[in-house]
Structures are given as structure tokens and as C-alpha cells.
Amino acid sequence: MTQPLPYSGLRVLDISQGLAGPYCAGLLGAQGAQVTKIEPPGGDWIRNAGGGKEGMTSLAIMGSAGKRSACIDATKPEGRALILKMARQSDVFVQNFRPGVIERLGFGYDVLSKDNPKLVYVSITGFGASGPDAKKPATDSVLQAFTGMARINRDADGTPRRIPFLVPDTVTGVYAAQAVGAALFARERTGRGRHVQVSLMDSCAALQTAPILDAALSDGTPPLPPTIPAGIFRTSDGYITVTSMNETMFASILKVLDLGDLGRDPRVAQPAERQKNAALVNLEVSRRLANHSTSHWMRVFTEADVLCAEAQDYAGFRAAPQPVHMQTFRDVDQPPYGALPMPRMPGSQPDWPMGPAPRAGEHTFEILAEAGVTEAERAALVASGVIRQST
């Protein structure tokens, strides 16, 4: 690397569990921060969510890649004292407990910022710090339903559907990491940290700004499609998406599909009428696309400079020439699996280091030694069940 990583030297203490908080801290780590993850003696609950071996689920790997892990029991006074000591030496503190829990543990913002006024303290909640729903449990499925995300993804019969990956948690982690960057920039000017508060609810709202505005502007009527044709269409051997952003591209689609007569139909000849009759255009396009292979259509549409893409699976995406050329994925040696294809963080460079996710408590002794805990003290903490070092 010709330059140090952006967050090189930044110390992050991550006591969050699940995905939103850990992913926020992980994004900071991907940009050079040293991230210490504190887990309970049994490990982060996400290590048992979704299968996997030895506590290495896909979600655990996603949230903890490149971190060090220490298992400390924060319900015991000795454990809390250790965490408080590390918080005093940290630049960023990340937690995602329900409102009130972190204060009962003794790690509230008022406590930590008094000892460390430069600390950027991150609180991630489901519904916010106060209000009628503040203490309700918040999961991906709950937030997708509550914020309209499942409804906008409804099937042809109108049944709301959950998007099958953790959108609320993932996007909240991204927004939280961005807010940390802004808080660190402000700290450079003022010398003081601040309390960054991000909720899954607010993050889902921000992510869906355009469809929420569409709904507000349409008085309950379905919004008109922004591009026509639009959708995923079946070919003779797979699926493809084809769409148009302007009149020139729409004319190219009609020419490639030999649909000149459709272009002269008054119901679709002009953009305003075409939006009202999008179903007609999509039907005629789907009939033509079914006659040839995906590779045929990809070739002719690409030659005509039409927006198109094959609907690939993840293996196809990873093997495609463009992500291979851009080094979008890096093989990371992740125990107990071996090499796994990890996506690089957007904005990073291919030569930035990427590390595996740790086992729960893999670095407990190392981390506590750095915090000034002696070997004899560590042995006593192990014997009393306050800490655990994985083997």
C-alpha cells in the first residue's frame, strides 16, 4: 500500500451482537481501525443463527471479519471493570442493546464520555431511544414488515414478502458507520466526541425514501413505472432484465425485438401513454425474449447499447469477467472452512488487508494483556468464569 488505511490507529470497542452493530464496527475495521469485539462467555448469539460450523455462520463472519474477540461476562463486576478500562482507551464504542439495558450495565454514554470525552459512542436500536415502541424487540422480519419493505415487495397476489436477506440490519450498519465518520470529523475540529444514535426503523425509512415519496404523492394509487420495459423476463434457457432510460434506447429495444408495429401503437408511442400501458409493453417484450437464449439476447442488446443483465446466481456473479477484473471478491482463509470469497468494502483498494472472523474469545488473553491485566489476574478471572479464552 502506498498510503496508510484511512482509520489506521483508530481503536474501536464493539460490544454489540447480531449484525447491525457488528457490521458497523466491521466497516470501520475494513478501513484500518483496530476493532476489539467483546462477546459473552457463550459467544455472540449470531454464531448460532443460520447454520455453519464451530460458531462461524455466514452472518457471524460478515459481522466480525478482521476483528479480535474477547469473551467477557459483563454481568459480573469484574467483567464490567475490564470493559470500562478498555472503553477509556478507545476512540469508538459500539453497542446495540435495547434502551435502558446498557445503562443498567454501567456503560451508558454519560458514564463513558465522562471518563473519555473524545469517545464517539454509537447506540443502535430497533425503533429509537424513546417512544411507545422503543423497548420492543426488533428483528429483520419485524422491521421489513413495519416499515413497508415487505409490502412493496409483494407478490402478484398482493401478499407482502420478506426480502430474503437482512436488509434492515445491513443498511443500518452502513448508515451507522457513515455517522461515525462524520462524528470523527467533527471531533477533529472540536476535540470532543459525541453520541451517535441510529435505529433500524430510521435506516429503513431513509433507504426507502423514493418509494415512500411515491406513495405520498400518489394518494394511494400505484406509482407509474419509471422505466419501460421493466422486470425480469424469461428467455429460452434462463432469465434476463431489459429496460430503457430514454427514447433512443426504447427504439433500439423495439428494433432488436422486431417490434416496430408496437412502437407505432398510440398506447405506447409517447412516454406518458407508455407508462399507463407498461403491462402491454412488458407482455410483448416477454413473448419475443422467450424465443432465444440468454446469451443471444445479451449479445444483441449489448451491441445495441441497451440496459440489460443476465439474472445470475451468486456463483455466476463471482465468476463474471467484470467482478474478476475489478477484484470485487477476495479469497480469505476462514477457519474452519478454508478460502471463502469475501466481497471487498466499496471504496477500498484491492491491496487493503482482509482478515477472517475470529472464534469467540480467540484473543481474550492477548487483548487483556494489552489492557494491563497480568497473567495471574487473567488466571483468576478464568477460574471465576469472568473471561474465556477459546482453544
Query: Per residue in 40-80, pLDDT tens?
Result: 999 999 999 988 999 999 999 999 999 999 999 999 999 99
Q: What is the DSSP string of 172-235?
A: HHHHHHHHHHHHHHHHHHHS---EEEEEHHHHHHHHTHHHHHHHHHTTTSPPPPSSSS-SEEE-
SS3 243: strand
Using the predicted structure, report yes or no on whether residue 222 has a pLDDT greater than 80: no
Count Cβ atoms below 10 Å from residue 320 Cβ, excluding itself. Answer: 14
C-alpha to C-alpha distance for 254 and 240, rounded to whole angstroms: 16
Say what the pLDDT of residue 218 is: 82
User: What is the pLDDT confidence band of residue 225, given thresholds at 50, 70 and 90?
Assistant: confident
User: What is the pLDDT confidence band of residue 223, given thresholds at 50, 70 and 90?
Assistant: confident
* Residue given cell 423514493 in the structure block: 210
* Residue given cell 401513454 in the structure block: 273
The amino acid occupying position 216 is A
User: What is the pLDDT confidence band of residue 369, given thresholds at 50, 70 and 90?
Assistant: very high
> Of 79, 47, 14, 88, which is closest to residue 387 (Cα–Cα)?
79
What integer best gives the mean pLDDT of the chain? 95
Q: Domain 11-210+356-388 carries which CATH code?
A: 3.40.50.10540
Cell of 5: 488505511
Contact residues for 202 (Cβ-Cβ < 8 A; gap 6+): 128, 175
The separation between the first and the last C-alpha atoms of the chain, rounded to the nearest angstrom, is 33
User: What is the pLDDT confidence band of residue 224, given thresholds at 50, 70 and 90?
Assistant: confident
| Active-site choice (157, 169, 265, 333) | 169
User: What is the pLDDT confidence band of residue 151, given thresholds at 50, 70 and 90?
Assistant: very high
Say what the pLDDT of residue 50 is: 82
What are the φ and ψ backbone dihedral angles of 226, each rounded to 5 degrees? -75, -25
C-alpha to C-alpha distance for 55 and 357, rounded to whole angstroms: 10
Cα 160 to Cα 85, 90, 149, 154, 231, distances in angstroms: 47, 43, 8, 4, 18
User: What is the pLDDT confidence band of residue 221, given thresholds at 50, 70 and 90?
Assistant: confident
C-alpha to C-alpha distance for 233 and 329, rounded to whole angstroms: 28
Residue range 94-133, pLDDT digits in tens: 999 999 999 999 999 999 999 999 999 999 999 999 999 9
Can 169 be counted among the known catalytic residues?
yes
The ranges of the chain annotated as CATH 3.40.50.10540 are: 11-210+356-388
The ranges of the chain annotated as CATH 3.30.1540.10 are: 232-314
What are the φ and ψ backbone dihedral angles of 11, each rounded to 5 degrees? -110, 120
Topology of domain 232-314, per CATH? formyl-coa transferase, domain 3 (3.30.1540)
- Tell me the mean pLDDT in the region 231-253: 95
Cell of 216: 405520498
- Tell me the mean pLDDT in the region 205-228: 87
Cell of 131: 417512544
Say what the pLDDT of residue 3 is: 84
- Tell me the mean pLDDT in the region 293-297: 97
C-alpha to C-alpha distance for 369 and 379, rounded to whole angstroms: 12
Say what the pLDDT of residue 146 is: 97
Using the predicted structure, report yes or no on whether residue 220 has a pLDDT greater than 80: no
SS3 322: helix
Cα 34 to Cα 22, 37, 145, 147, distances in angstroms: 13, 10, 36, 34
Say what the pLDDT of residue 172 is: 98
Cell of 125: 436500536
Cα 320 to Cα 18, 173, 242, 312, 343, distances in angstroms: 31, 28, 18, 9, 14
pTM above 0.85, yes or no: yes
> Of 344, 364, 383, 350, which is closest to residue 66 (Cα–Cα)?
344
> Of 358, 10, 356, which is closest to residue 180 (Cα–Cα)?
10
- Residue 223: left (phi > 0), alpha (psi -120 to 50), or beta? beta
